[in-house]
Amino acid sequence: MKSLAIALIFCLLLSTGELQATPGYTSNGSGSGISQLRDGTNHPASFFDDNGRTEELLNYAKGAFLARLGFSEPVIPPEFLVGFQHACFVTFFSGKKVIACFGGFYPRTGNVAGEIAENIRMALLFDPRARSIVRKTAQASDVQVTFPGEPVPVKSYAEINPLREGMLVENDRHGVAIVPGEAKTASWAFREAMRRLGEKDPASLRIFKFQAWTVSTRTQK
């Protein structure tokens, strides 16, 4: 997997080599830096075992989103987020529709608070779906934070359960990642990835799946 040192998802890669969380990633060639979800000591669930922390995480992500859009005052991250490092994706929904998403497979900042803030900045900058966000939509939006594991190559998208696993699709220039819960079927997720990549030949693409731990305001309703 030649370009998976840092995968940034707004859900599509840029021509510069950045993968936009379906958009993007950039490669630093290190091949390291991700917390394995099978390791209980590094698993995000072991850090967010307190329901209050999960709610604080989601409130911070939503508050940072509104503040970046200029719809609220800046928010201060909870202290525990400053003391925890893990790559993540941040996705915002209006109903069932994704309106902004960006993230990565490897940390780019010193802590989760920084990852969330940077992913929001990149989503609003690069994700074309974010261009139509208005105050009412932003205030009513749901947020999902996804902590990904290492992408693993698969032979077919049919091997992926999109409700529980993420999908990463690459060509020689770009990559598109779709986080768990963004798509109901693997076939739709793959077609969407092809569309965002501008590819018509499935044989030219590389497919990966990744395990993930997610928290979302959608599941709290």
Q: Is 65 exposed, middle or buried (0-12, 13-18, 19+ CB in 10 A)?
A: buried
pLDDT band for 196, please (50, 70, 90 cuts).
confident
pLDDT digits (tens, 9 = 90+) for 108-141: 999 999 999 999 999 999 999 999 999 999 999 9
The yes-or-no verdict on residue 21 having pLDDT over 90 is no
Tell me whether strands 6-7 and 25-26 are parallel, antiparallel or unpaired.
Answer: antiparallel
Domains of the chain, by residue range, sit at 9-220
Report the run of H or E that residue 188 belongs to, with start and end. Answer: helix 186-197
Q: Look at residue 1 in the predicted model and tell me its pLDDT.
A: 44
pLDDT digits (tens, 9 = 90+) for 81-105: 988 889 999 999 999 999 999 998 8
Helix, strand, coil proportions of the chain in percent (round to 5)?
35, 25, 40
- CB atoms under 10 Å from CB of 84, counted, come to 16
Q: Is 156 exposed, middle or buried (0-12, 13-18, 19+ CB in 10 A)?
A: exposed
Q: Look at residue 84 in the predicted model and tell me its pLDDT.
A: 85
d(CA 166, CA 211): 6
Of 169 and 49, the one with more pLDDT: 169
pLDDT band for 5, please (50, 70, 90 cuts).
very low
- What is the pTM for the complete model shown? 0.81
pLDDT band for 175, please (50, 70, 90 cuts).
confident
Q: Is 115 exposed, middle or buried (0-12, 13-18, 19+ CB in 10 A)?
A: buried
Q: Look at residue 51 in the predicted model and tell me its pLDDT.
A: 67
Q: Look at residue 220 in the predicted model and tell me its pLDDT.
A: 58
Q: Look at residue 35 in the predicted model and tell me its pLDDT.
A: 38
Residue 74 DSSP SS3: coil
Q: Look at residue 189 in the predicted model and tell me its pLDDT.
A: 95
Q: Look at residue 50 in the predicted model and tell me its pLDDT.
A: 67
